[in-house]
Structure 1
Amino acid sequence: MNRMSSAHPRPDWATLPNLITLLRLGLVVPIVILVLHHAQPVLTVVLLAVFGASDWIDGYLARALNQVSATGAVLDPVADRVGVATIALALAVAGHLSLGVVLTIAAVDAALAVTYLVTRPARAPKVSRVGKVRTAALMAGLALIGVSLVPALHPVGAAGRVLCVVGAFLHAVAGFGYVRALLRDNRADPPDM
Structure 2
Amino acid sequence: MTSSQGSSASARPTAAGHPPADRNDLPDRVWTLPNALSVLRLLGVPVFLWLLLGPEADAWAVAVLALAGLTDWADGKLARAMGQSSRLGALLDPAADRLYIVATLVAFALRDVVPLWLVLVLLGREAVLGVALLVLRRHGWPPLQVHYLGKAATFILLYAFPLLLLAEGDGPVVAVAQPLAWALTIWGAALYVLAGAFYVVQTVRLVRPDGPRPDAAGAAP
* Alignment partner, residue 179 of structure 1: 200
Q: TM-score, normalized by length of structure 2?
A: 0.72
Query: What secondary structure is seen at the aligned counterpart in 2 of 1:188?
Result: coil
* Alignment partner, residue 128 of structure 1: 147
Deviations 1:128-148 (A, max 9, x none): 221121011111111222344
Query: What secondary structure is seen at the aligned counterpart in 2 of 1:73?
Result: helix
Distance of 1:17 and 1:101 partners within structure 2: 33
- Match runs of 1:139-178 below 5 Å: 139-148=158-167, 151-152=170-171, 153-155=173-175, 156-178=177-199
Matched, 1:188 2:207: no
Query: How has the CA–CA distance of structure 1 residues 112 and 53 changed in structure 2, closer, same or farther, with 3 Å as cutoff?
Result: same
* Alignment partner, residue 86 of structure 1: 103
Distance of 1:47 and 1:154 partners within structure 2: 21
Distance of 1:149 and 1:88 partners within structure 2: 15
Post-superposition offset of 1:149 = 5.3
The answer on whether the counterparts of 2:136 and 2:142 sit within 8 Å (CA) in structure 1 is no
Query: How has the CA–CA distance of structure 1 residues 101 and 15 changed in structure 2, closer, same or farther, with 3 Å as cutoff?
Result: farther
Higher mean alpha-carbon deviation, 60-69 vs 164-173, is at 60-69
Query: How has the CA–CA distance of structure 1 residues 15 and 99 changed in structure 2, closer, same or farther, with 3 Å as cutoff?
Result: farther
Distance of 2:98 and 2:107 partners within structure 1: 14
The answer on whether the counterparts of 1:31 and 1:48 sit within 8 Å (CA) in structure 2 is yes
Q: Percent of pairs identical after alignment?
A: 32
Query: What secondary structure is seen at the aligned counterpart in 2 of 1:125?
Result: coil
Contiguous gaps of at least 5 residues in structure 2: 1-26, 216-221
Query: 2:75 aligned to 50, 58, 65, which one?
Result: 58
The answer on whether the counterparts of 1:131 and 1:171 sit within 8 Å (CA) in structure 2 is yes
* Alignment partner, residue 125 of structure 2: 108
* Alignment partner, residue 90 of structure 2: 73
* Alignment partner, residue 36 of structure 1: 53
Deviations 1:100-147 (A, max 9, x none): 222122111111111111121543322222112101111111122234
Post-superposition offset of 1:38 = 5.1
Query: How has the CA–CA distance of structure 1 residues 36 and 158 changed in structure 2, closer, same or farther, with 3 Å as cutoff?
Result: farther
Query: How has the CA–CA distance of structure 1 residues 113 and 41 changed in structure 2, closer, same or farther, with 3 Å as cutoff?
Result: closer
Query: How has the CA–CA distance of structure 1 residues 20 and 42 changed in structure 2, closer, same or farther, with 3 Å as cutoff?
Result: same
Post-superposition offset of 1:190 = 5.7
Count of residues in Structure 1 that have an aligned counterpart in Structure 2 = 182
Post-superposition offset of 1:35 = 1.5
Query: How has the CA–CA distance of structure 1 residues 60 and 99 changed in structure 2, closer, same or farther, with 3 Å as cutoff?
Result: farther
Query: What secondary structure is seen at the aligned counterpart in 2 of 1:126?
Result: coil
Higher mean alpha-carbon deviation, 15-24 vs 53-62, is at 53-62
Query: How has the CA–CA distance of structure 1 residues 72 and 28 changed in structure 2, closer, same or farther, with 3 Å as cutoff?
Result: same
